[in-house]
Amino acid sequence: MELLGKAMMTILTAALISEPGLAAKWYVSPQGTSTGRGTIESPWDIESALLGEQPVQPGDTIYLLEGIYRRRPQELFSIKLLGTADEPIHIRPTPNQRVTIDGGLQVQGGTAHMWIWDIEILVSEPNPTQPVSPGSHPEDFKRPWGGLHMHGGTGCKYINLVIHDARQGVSFWSGAKDSELHGCIIYDNGWIGTDRGHGHAIYTQNNEGIKTIADCIMTGGYGYSLHAYGSARADVSNYLAEGNICYDAGTFLIGGGKPSHGVRVFKNSLYGVNMRLGYSAPYNEDCEVRDNLIVNGGLNINKFRQVVNEGNLVVGLQDSRPESPTVILRPNKYDPARANLAIFNWNRQKSVSVNVSDFLKVGEKYRLMNPRDFFGSPVQNGTCTSEQILVPVEGEFAAFVLLKS
């Protein structure tokens, strides 16, 4: 009778909250249950909420209460939720709370118009201190995969996630159509084998629809930064890669064994990272490569029949440098309190003046965060007193996330 009462209460709650035109707010916690009511006082478990086993409707928001969500040995929590273009389903932390998935998420077919925001994804088991056996699936390497894996999902968005220390950061496959990865921080993923490094920040393939990878920060790890790659049977086409920051990481690649088309690469900032478009295919169709800045790396556009190559600056390790620092500040598309900042400090000054007038107003407080320690103490915080703020920089390059407090 008690379980029946809880079930009736869940149905009643859904009826009251999810009437047309009134989006519901549901709550999940690490201690939640599938028989909860989806409230703060009686939250759901994450597994039943993300799998669509609860009465979540288009336009609803699933709030994750603070804590660590962990499961072993099946460390990936599956998602199968169906929103609409006008009313996507949102999954995000409860405001001002930190949520960590110790393991990962996998998006299944049948998912559409689902947005995931502001979640940290990691694997807590340490990497081996010595190289493991060669290959992509070594038998002596038992560490969980973790990360974010999109096998399906149409019109989905993955916004401002922090993904690190997984075997692979993001797997963004062809079943995820017309979807976007935006503002994510992806670092220190992969592992070292006796043959080479394995695991990438982003491994992706695509054909139908446009895959957008924009304003992400990728650094560290053992494989590629962007690895848009496949064999002669896999599609690597219809990409927009814009405004990403990659440093101290592997090659930024879009291309495979099958001819690519519809490749657009705009306004990316790479430091110590090569950009390569086209791989082993006998030819590729078309690409646009505009306004990218590549320092201590190269740009290779390989076997494209139609190429637009404009406004790109490639500065080699031994090349002369510009006289004044180059500062790139890109406000976040979805969060007006957030921006990415890249500084090319050519003269290696101790600090660089940054014009923040497009982002901060005089009197607003801000925090400057290290992407590799996003939840830690700020590199700097203060109050904006003019159009400029002075940012400390060590070396020739630095990347930050700038937040309004």
pLDDT in tens, 120-140: 999 999 999 999 999 999 999
- Token pair 């002075």 in the structure block, residue: 390
Residue 214 CB neighbours (<10 A): 20
pLDDT attached to residue 33: 98
Q: Quick check: 80 and 121 in contact, CB under 8 A?
A: no
pLDDT band at 21 (very low <50, low <70, confident <90, very high): low
Q: How far apart are CA 246 and CA 172, in angstroms?
A: 18
Q: Quick check: 42 and 72 in contact, CB under 8 A?
A: no
Q: What angle do CA 52, 70, 125 make, to 5 degrees?
A: 140
pLDDT attached to residue 110: 95
Percent of the chain with pLDDT over 90: 94
Query: Per the omega criterion (within 30 degrees of 0), is the bond before 336 cis?
Result: no
Average pLDDT over residues 259-274: 98
Domain boundaries defined on the chain: 1-65, 336-404
Residue 165 CB neighbours (<10 A): 21
pLDDT in tens, 25-54: 999 999 999 999 999 999 999 999 999 999
Give the lowest-confidence range in 1-10, 250-259, 263-272, 278-287: 1-10
Which two three-digit tokens encode residue 108? 């299944």
pLDDT attached to residue 17: 41
pLDDT band at 22 (very low <50, low <70, confident <90, very high): confident
Residue 4 CB neighbours (<10 A): 8
74: Cβ contacts below 8 Å, ≥ 6 apart: none
Question: Does the pLDDT of residue 171 top 70, yes or no?
Answer: yes
- Token pair 């220390």 in the structure block, residue: 165
Q: Left, alpha or beta for 85 (phi > 0: left; psi -120 to 50: alpha)?
A: alpha
Question: Does the pLDDT of residue 224 top 60, yes or no?
Answer: yes
Q: How far apart are CA 250 and CA 229, in angstroms?
A: 14
Question: Does the pLDDT of residue 226 top 70, yes or no?
Answer: yes
Question: Does the pLDDT of residue 197 top 70, yes or no?
Answer: yes
Q: What angle do CA 145, 338, 62 make, to 5 degrees?
A: 55
Q: Which pTM value belongs to this model?
A: 0.94
pLDDT in tens, 53-74: 999 999 999 999 999 999 999 9
Strands 269-271 and 293-295, bridge-based pairing: parallel
Strands 76-79 and 104-107, bridge-based pairing: parallel
129: Cβ contacts below 8 Å, ≥ 6 apart: none
Displacement of CA 236 from its chain's centroid (Å): 19
3-state secondary structure the chain: CHHHHHHHHHHHHHHHHCCCCCCCEEEECCCCCCCCCCCCCCCECHHHHHCCCCCCCCCCEEEECCEEEECCCCCEEEECCECCCCCCEEEEECCCCCEEEECEEEECCCCECEEEECCEEECCCCCCCCCECCCCCCCCCCCCCCEEEECCCECCEEECCEEECCCCCEEECCCCECCEEECCEEECCCEEECCCEECCCEEECECCCCEEEECCEEECCCCCCEEECCCCCCCECCEEEECCEEECCCCEEECCCCCCCCEEEECCEEECCCEEECCCCCCEEEEEEECCEEECCCEEECCEEEEEEECCEEECCCCCCCCCCEEEEEECCCCCCEEEEEEECCCCCCEEEEECCCCCCCCCEEEEECHHHCCCCCCEEEECCCCEEEEECCCCEEEEEEEEC
In angstroms, how far is the first alpha carbon of the chain from the final one?
49
